Structure 1
Amino acid sequence: MTAYAFAHLRSVDVNAEIVEYLEKIDATLDAHGGRFLVHNKVPTVMDGSFEGVLVLIEFPSTEVAEAWYHSAGYQEIVDFRVNNSVGGAAIVEGVGPDYRAADMVAGK
């Protein structure tokens, strides 16, 4: 099942470490079949609040996404993001093409 790594970054200090992070992250994704779907975009907020930017990366599965996050290549640069931004990142499994919201109520 497709999985997504996402980050909600409320602020980013764009400095030499962030530049290095951006220069190196693509190579870490390539080895795991990851690709950016959204990168550093400010969403149009329809209700509630959402400060900052969104990053969304697609992976073939949760296992692959977690392997990417824990890979030597990504671990070499992850602190550059963590130490120079306010926000968080997570991995979530997607749903299949036939999924319907009512499936949650039905226990599927």
Structure 2
Amino acid sequence: MSILPVHVVANFTVQDAAKYREYEKGFFPILKKHGGEFITFDDNSVTFEGGTPPEGRVVLFKFPSEAAATAWYHDPDYQALSEHRRAGTTLNFLTMVHGLPPRT
């Protein structure tokens, strides 16, 4: 059984920039601790189809496996840090997207 990478997509609107900056300051060390990789963010994403485009910021990052992503999210240090995000943003979604297995 191979371990497949997963992506995490977040969409939120920053309401309190100072509180969100506190979150940002601690985010990357915890992400790296779990093998996570920051890919990109966009404050002006474009939706080609669909009725409800994301508002605010869209963030994309990657983990080597579902287990790594789950461990990151449930990490007590991340949960404590995420209180700054919860206080400073309105979160629309934080979603894990599974990678495809290799084609044979």
Q: 2:35 maps to which residue?
A: 33
- Would you say 1:8 and 2:11 are equivalent positions? yes
Tell me which residue corresponds to 2:98: 93
The alignment's TM-score, normalised by the length of structure 2, stands at 0.81
Q: Please, which runs of 5 or more residues in structure 2 have no aligned partner?
A: none
Q: Percent identity over the alignment?
A: 30
Matched residues in 1 for 2:7 and 2:97: separation? 5
The more displaced of 39-48 and 75-84 is: 39-48
Structure 1 unmatched runs, 5+: 100-108
Give the length in aligned residue pairs.
Answer: 98
Amino acid at match of 1:44: V
Conserved 8 A contact 1:62-1:92 = no
After TM superposition, list the pairs within 5 Å mapping 1:1-108 onto structure 2: 1-9=4-12, 11-48=13-50, 49-50=52-53, 51-86=55-90, 87-98=92-103
Secondary structure of the structure 2 residue equivalent to 1:27: helix
Shift of 1:97: 4.1
Distance in 1, matches of 2:65 and 2:48, equals: 30
Deviation at 1:83, TM superposition (A): 2.5
Using the TM superposition, give the Cα deviation of residue 40 of structure 1 relative to its aligned residue in structure 2, in angstroms.
3.9
The 1:97/1:44 distance shift into structure 2, 3 A limit, reads farther
| Moved segments of 4+, more than 6 Å | none
Rg bigger for which structure? 1
What amino acid is the match of 2:80? E
In 1, the alpha carbon distance for the partners of 2:102 and 2:40 equals 20
Q: Contact 1:3–1:94 at 8 Å: present in 2 too?
A: yes
Q: Which residue of 2 aligns with 1:103?
A: none
2:7–2:96 contact (8 Å) kept in structure 1: yes
